Structure 1
């Protein structure tokens, strides 16, 4: 096994050991920002093909679709790329009866998955709030270092980050540096 001397710690550190963290990009998908009257949520749910959550922070997911309620009348929606046109058509048909805003933000964002027993440790390196208190199946808009993200806790050890492309390299770089620190046990 390869060893590296780490002078700030003053000891040799094993390099190349398996680390309890995996960081990867998520397959591309259709992404939408939806603003909709919450009193008519059933109509939006039907148009999207998934029962949209009715409480801020809740997440709903099924058949490759994901919805996170970010505000009283705001949802972040994800769908398979092949279904993007269908989602847009369904909401366009709904517009005459129920005015709303559905904005395609697919070009703006990328997804990053952080998974493993060290996922919380990696995310704590750049997120100020208590991530441990966030239960699985919840999501929120927050700040990762200086970048705004949508963070979804999919399971106890798997998180999804949705970040603007212009900040993606920054977020990725911090996650990679943190991963290296975890690997070196520093």
Structure 2
């Protein structure tokens, strides 16, 4: 369904020289913006099927659901499209006793996976902070050139970018330019 409208579907940038780098469109997923009182996070975790990280920048994953804490009362949630209805139903039931905001942002954003020993080099071409010190299993909202993104460090050499669909080609173009520099050892 959403997969049909993914602006980067089927695209991949692969550099296999000295510093391997692979950049590809992430699989289609359900995405949510969750706002809830942190004191009620355990109730939300029950509806979500995944613990909500307590530390800002923390990432928790369970049952195919990933939650990133972006702010004092804000989480970014990614799940498989098949889980969308169950998550929405769980939070609809929770709303009767716990005020919160769960917004489906699946159509607004797309994912880009950046992987390889040159992933840091490619990302630092357009991110102003030192992502090398970003711990594995953490994430943040930041700017990639002029586009707002959510960046998650999944492993030492694997990152995930979540970006608004309207900025996806812009981010992709910068990553493409960075991959050419990696390929040329610039």
**Common topology (TM > 0.5):** yes
Q: Distance in 2 between matches of 1:72 and 1:133?
A: 22
Q: Name stretches of at least 5 consecutive residues in structure 1 with no aligned partner.
A: 1-14
Show the counterpart of 1:49: 49
The Cα offsets for residues 46-69 of structure 1, whole Å up to 9 and x where unpaired, read as 000001101100001123211000
1:59 aligns with 2:86: no
1:70 aligns with 2:70: yes
Residue 111 of structure 1 aligns to a residue whose secondary structure is: strand
Are the structure 2 counterparts of residues 143 and 16 from structure 1 closer, same or farther at C-alpha, using a change threshold of 3 Å? Answer: closer
- How many residues end up aligned between the 2 structures? 172
Show the counterpart of 1:6: none
Q: Distance in 2 between matches of 1:16 and 1:172?
A: 18
Are the structure 2 counterparts of residues 16 and 85 from structure 1 closer, same or farther at C-alpha, using a change threshold of 3 Å? Answer: closer
Q: Distance in 1 between matches of 2:40 and 2:110?
A: 29
Normalising by the residue count of structure 1, what TM-score does the alignment of the two structures yield?
Answer: 0.90
Are the structure 2 counterparts of residues 16 and 138 from structure 1 closer, same or farther at C-alpha, using a change threshold of 3 Å? Answer: closer
Which is greater in Rg? 1
Q: Distance in 2 between matches of 1:64 and 1:97?
A: 26
**Contact 2:57-2:140 within 8 A present in 1 as well:** yes
Q: Name stretches of at least 5 consecutive residues in structure 2 with no aligned partner.
A: 1-14
Tell me the C-alpha RMSD between the 2 structures. 1.3
**Contact 2:113-2:159 within 8 A present in 1 as well:** yes
Show the counterpart of 2:103: 103
Normalising by the residue count of structure 2, what TM-score does the alignment of the two structures yield?
Answer: 0.90
1:121 aligns with 2:114: no
Q: What is the CA-CA distance between 1:16 and the residue it aligns to?
A: 7.6
Q: Distance in 2 between matches of 1:33 and 1:16?
A: 36
Q: Distance in 1 between matches of 2:177 and 2:19?
A: 13
The Cα offsets for residues 92-144 of structure 1, whole Å up to 9 and x where unpaired, read as 00001001000000000000000000000000000000101101000000000
Residue 57 of structure 2 aligns to a residue whose secondary structure is: coil
Residue 154 of structure 1 aligns to a residue whose secondary structure is: strand
**Contact 2:119-2:157 within 8 A present in 1 as well:** yes
